[in-house]
Amino acid sequence: MESRLPVSRYSSRARWFHWLSFAFVLLAYVLINVREFAPRGSDARALIMQSHILAGLVVLALVVPRLLGRLRGPPPPPISPPIASWEATLSRVTHVALYAFLFVQPILGVLTVFAGGHAITIPFTSLQIPSPMTGSHDLGERFGDIHGWVGTVFYYVIGLHILGALWHHFVRHDDTLRRIT
């Protein structure tokens, strides 16, 4: 049964950062998965990869003010009806993992490019961020492997986060999802 009481929501700024982060994480995942449709060495594949990297940099740029806002501003009142302690613990663990991902994954992506001795090219421009590192194909490959592995793990963490939101909305019928929309 849906509550008719007003929902205490996150601030509009927090909601905006949440959904914008979601959009750019989704874009980065879509781009990395569609790159396989472009031939290796093609301009299309390079553009897809440059766009993937740019999406990751936007995620990194969004996470800093998002986390500062979360640390500085109090969240809305507790979920109504109150959640069980195991749900609260799982929620905290998942959110810490998501924030870690939002920091670590883009940094690993940048290290992958830079360790390989490449510059980061901004799509549709001649702008580049040069690599401050001496190029090492092996080191770039290692960072790339870690970046790929972390990305795969976080498919599942993101899925858990989405399932949690759906659980709260459709099974528990609490206000969790409405607080962030």
Q: Digits of tens for pLDDT over the chain (181 positions)?
A: 444 555 688 888 889 999 999 999 999 999 999 999 999 999 999 999 999 999 999 999 999 998 888 888 777 778 888 888 998 898 889 989 999 999 999 999 999 999 999 999 999 999 999 999 998 999 999 999 999 999 999 999 999 999 999 999 999 999 889 989 8
Please indicate, yes or no, whether the overall pTM of this predicted structure exceeds 0.85: yes
Give the separation between CA 89 and CA 85, rounded to whole angstroms: 6
Which pair of tokens denotes residue 8?
């205490």
pLDDT tens per residue, range 122-153: 999 999 999 999 989 999 999 999 999 999 99
Give the separation between CA 158 and CA 170, rounded to whole angstroms: 18
Which pair of tokens denotes residue 82?
């109150």
DSSP secondary-structure letter at 68?
H
Which pair of tokens denotes residue 35?
């790159």
Long-range contacts of the stretch 88-94 (C-beta < 8 A, 24+): 90/164, 91/164, 94/157, 94/160, 94/161, 94/164
Nearest to 52 by CA among 38, 23, 32: 32
